[in-house]
Structure 1
Amino acid sequence: GYKLVACKQMQASKQHLEKHYADLSSKGFFAGLVTYMASGPVVAMVWEGKDVVKTGRKMLGATNPLDSNPGTIRGDYCIDVGRNICHGSDSVESAKREIDLWFKPEEIMSYNACEAPWLYE
C-alpha cells in the first residue's frame, strides 16, 4: 500500500551529508560516516502511505545489524553497524526535514494509486 513519490540517484557532497547527519555531529564516528556516505552514489527515496515511517523502520531492522531480525533489510544484508546499508527517518518530523534537504517540491509526485480504494478505508 505504499507509494514511491520521489526517487533519485546522486553523489552526495560531504557538506550535504553533514547537514543530513547534523544530529550525530558530536559522535566519534561522524567524520567516518560522512566520508563513507560520500564515497559512492546514494539513492534517495520518498515513500507515502499509512504509518510509512513506523513500518519502514521495522522493515529496515535495528541500526546494529546483529540486533536485527532475519527478514529485515539489515538482518539479511548487513554485517557491521557502520555499514548498515539503508537510512530511514526515525520520525515524521525527521522525514519532513530530510525530504526538504534531498528534494525540491517539484521533484515529489502526487498521484492516486489505482489500488488505493482496495487497501484503505
Structure 2
Amino acid sequence: MINPPARAFSTARPASSLRNVAYGVSAAAALGATAFVAQPVHLDAGARTIAARYGIMLYDSKRRSLNIFVDGVSRQIVGKIISRFEERGYKLVAVKSVTPSKELAKEHYVDLANRPFYPGLVDYITSGTPVVALVWEGKDVIRQGRRMVGATNPLQSDPGSIRGTYAVSVGRNIIHASDSFESATKEIGLWFNEKELSSYEPIAWPWIFSDN
C-alpha cells in the first residue's frame, strides 16, 4: 500500500479471494473503497490495482500525470496529443491550463535541483505561456504512456511517438510524463486538488480492456 500525499489519490490491491469476479458495491466496501462503482467490470487473471477512492476498478489501472509544456502549447498541438491517448482508449480524468508559479515549477522538478540546467528549466515553464496538465487512467497506462511519449531526447525517440513526431531538441521536448506510480502520485497532488479528479466509466471500456 502506497501512502500518497493528502491531495493525491490512493490505491489498494484486491484480496486474492476476490480475483476473477465482477466487482460491485459489496466488493468495493470490502476493500475499503469510498466511491460507488456505477458499472461492475469483470477482471480476468493478472496483476490488479484498484483506484478505490474514485471507484474505478480495472486491473493495471493507475492514474498518471501528463503535462504538455509551453512549447507544445505555443505550437498548438495540444489537441493532437490528447487525441493519441483518447484514440488508444485511455480515459481523461482531469485537464486544466495552468500558468505555473516558480514555487510549483521548483517542486515539480525538485529531483533535478542540483543539475546545472535546473534554473533555466524553471524559467522555461514559468515564462507566461500556460502548461496543460492532464491525468489519464487505464490499463498499464504509466508504462504505455511513457512509450507513447517517447525518450527524453527526441532524437532517440521511436518514430511515431509524440516526441519522435513533433520534437528534435531535448530542451524543447513538448511534454512531461510521470515515470512511475510514485511520481504520478506526487505530481497529481501538485497540479490538481481532489475535487478536480473525475470518476466515471467510458462506455467502451469493457470492450477496450477485456482480455477474453
Same fold (TM over 0.5): yes
2:95 partner amino acid: C
State the Cα deviation string for residues 37-80 of structure 1 (Å, max 9, x = none). Answer: 11110000000001111011001110001101110111111121
Where 1:5 maps in the other structure, the secondary structure is: strand
Q: Which has the higher helix share?
A: 1
Aligned sequence identity (%): 56
1:37 to 111, 125, 137: 125
The answer on 1:73 being equivalent to 2:155 is no
1:13 to 97, 101, 106: 101
Q: Distance in 1 between matches of 2:209 and 2:167?
A: 33
1:82 to 171, 179, 188: 171
State the Cα deviation string for residues 13-35 of structure 1 (Å, max 9, x = none). Answer: 11101000000100011001110
Of the two, which has the highest radius of gyration? 2
What is aligned with 2:14? Answer: none
The size of the alignment, in residue pairs, is 121
1:12 partner amino acid: P
Q: Which runs of at least 4 in structure 1 moved beyond 2 Å after TM superposition? A: none
Q: Distance in 2 between matches of 1:76 and 1:49?
A: 23
**5+ long unaligned stretches in structure 2:** 1-88
The answer on 1:116 being equivalent to 2:205 is yes
Q: Distance in 2 between matches of 1:54 and 1:38?
A: 28
Superposed CA RMSD: 0.8
Where 2:207 maps in the other structure, the secondary structure is: helix
The answer on 1:28 being equivalent to 2:121 is no
1:63 partner amino acid: T
TM-score relative to the length of structure 1: 0.97
Where 2:176 maps in the other structure, the secondary structure is: coil
Q: Distance in 1 between matches of 2:136 and 2:149?
A: 14
**5+ long unaligned stretches in structure 1:** none
The answer on 1:101 being equivalent to 2:195 is no
What is aligned with 1:3? Answer: 91
Q: Distance in 2 between matches of 1:91 and 1:35?
A: 25
User: Following TM superposition, by how much is the alpha carbon of 1:92 offset from its aligned partner in structure 2, in angstroms?
Assistant: 0.9
